[in-house]
Structures are given as C-alpha cells and as structure tokens.
Amino acid sequence: MRIFVTGARGLLGRSLLACSQSPTTEVVGGARQEGLIGDTQIVGLDLERPETLVAAVEQTRPDAVIHTAALTNVDRCETEPDYARRVNGDAVTALAEACQKLGAAMVHLSTDYVFNGQAGPYAETDSTRPLSNYGQIKLDSEVPVLAMDRGIVVRTLWLYGHIDGARRNLVTWPIESLARGETLRIVDDQWGNPTSATDLAAGLIDLLRAGAQGLFHFGGTAFMTRLELVQRIAAYFDLDASNVESMKTAAAGQDAPRPLRSGLRSDRVSQTLGRTPLSLEEGLAVLAKQPQFRQDFGPLLANA
C-alpha cells in the first residue's frame, strides 16, 4: 500500500512517517518545504493553491491519502475567515475530488471543535454545533470526504508527542516549564481527552488496512480538565506542580470561543480496531521511551 501523507513535517505527519514504514507499505510525504525526512521523499504543497495537492496525488498515485495539513490556529481562523476557508476547506474539497477520481482512499483529520462543548464527551451520532469559524469550517470540510466511496473522517483532540523540530504542545510545554520551575497559568474549565500522536498515527493506518469508511472519533481514554492534565504530567515525571495556577478560559482574552466541556468518545474506533486508544499514563510511557524525547528532555528532567 502506498500512502501519501500531507502535513508531513508536523507532529502527526512525522508520527505517521515513523509508524507506517514496513515491507508492505510505501510512504510519500507532502509539506510546504520539499526535500527528505530520513529516507522519505517530501513533495512541495501549498494549501492556498489546491492545484498543488491535486498535482501531488496525480504524481504519486497513492492507494490512500492521510490529510493532516491544516491551519490549527483557532484564533487566526476567527480573524481571517477567508484564508481559513481556503486552506481548511477548499483544499480538502480539491483533495477529496482528486482521490475519488484516482480511486484512492482518503483519511481527513477533523476536530472536537465541531461541538459546542456543553455535553461532552461526544459520540459520532451527537449533534454538531460549532462555536467558532475554525469549528464550522472543519465541519464543512468533512462533507466531501464522507461523500467519497472510500472516505474516512477522524475527529481528534488534544494531540501530544515529541518529534525533532515539532512545536511544543499541551504535554511537552508543561514538562519543559515545570522542569525549569516556571509559573504556569492553566485553565480549569476546559475538558477533553489528551491523545497520543503515536497512538493516533497507528490508528489511522489500522483504519485504512481494515477498509474502514465513514466518521470516527479518536481520543485518549482519560477525560479531564487542562489543569488536571498538567497535574498528572507533573505526578508522572515527578515534577513540582506548586507553581501551577488555575484560571478561567474567559480570562484568556482569545478571539475565538472554545468548547468547554468537550471530549470525544472512541467506541466506534475501538469496535473497528479491537483496541482502545491509550490512556494518558500509557501515552506518557510511550513518549518517555522515545529516543528523541530522552535526548531533548532527559537532561531537564534529571535536573528538575
């Protein structure tokens, strides 16, 4: 199976490149910056120019495309809606049409922000009601993929992990700050499921191999607030959490509203794959064993 991964230089994209290498799988990546990641060829893409995605699919002729590339800055989507719709909406439609024409499967990543956050965690059958431009555009982007013969939409949230060059996320940033004794202000009224990027990447590949179709939720099995997340990270890595202060989301002054009691139920993906997503502590154990994490965070944790 040949798989084309967009957003190949991001956390999930790089995790997919790492977990999908096998004698029966060939992977090609796409990103704004072309070149090589290890032995994987990276094709140049520009989400503002959907024709570059179509050309990449026609050039690589994959059996499946996993589309992870997106504008995930929720506040920028609120203040620049036209730009957000081009990169998070129009690009997906063009890619879905190209895959359908080729007969390739497509996995598209969506978000819990399609819900209003009043009654989470949510199942795939629950009614959607986005609060923000980001959530509405991502919800709209699901439609062309679900209309495909071999389309899969996977909603996920609170992704964490560590890859060389990847941006800090909701787990690695607190680890770094706590190890340095910095004061953290963390919201205590946002609920969700921390999700291991490594676990999600493996799940996406498994869905393709299972011939799955339709809508799935994939979130870690632990449901908690962001404040509890930081406290549990501190406990796991034996870090001092006395400098962690709680705050409310309303005090953050963000442009886009956030769904507060969000979260996703992963029953359907568990039934399809025969396993449940990792818990937080299981995901942290996987993270702690990864060579890049030990190299970059080991000295910090040893000195904490």
- Strand-pairing partners, residue 279, are none
Contacts of 40 (CB under 8 A, 6+ apart): 8, 17, 27, 28, 29
Q: Which residues contact 26 (CB under 8 A, 6 or more apart)?
A: 1, 2, 3
Alpha helix ranges (H) inside the chain: 11-19, 50-60, 74-79, 81-85, 91-102, 133-146, 172-179, 197-209, 226-236, 267-273, 280-289, 291-303
DSSP state letters, 238-267: T---TTEEEE-GGGG--SS---SB--B--H
What whole-number distance in Å separates Cα of residue 184 and Cα of residue 207?
A: 38
Compute CA distances 14 → 104, 191, 207, 218, whole Å: 21, 27, 18, 18
Catalytic annotation, pick one of 113, 122, 134, 160: 134
Strand partners, 106: 65, 151
User: For residue 197, which of 218, 212, 213 has the smallest C-alpha distance?
Assistant: 218
40's enclosing H/E stretch is strand 40-44
Supply φ then ψ for residue 185, to 5 degrees.
Answer: -110, 115
Query: Does residue 134 carry a catalytic annotation?
Result: yes
d(C-alpha 95, C-alpha 43), whole Å: 15
Judge if the upstream peptide bond of residue 121 is cis by omega within 30 degrees of 0.
yes
Residues 6+ apart with CB under 8 A from 180: 300
Catalytic residues: 134
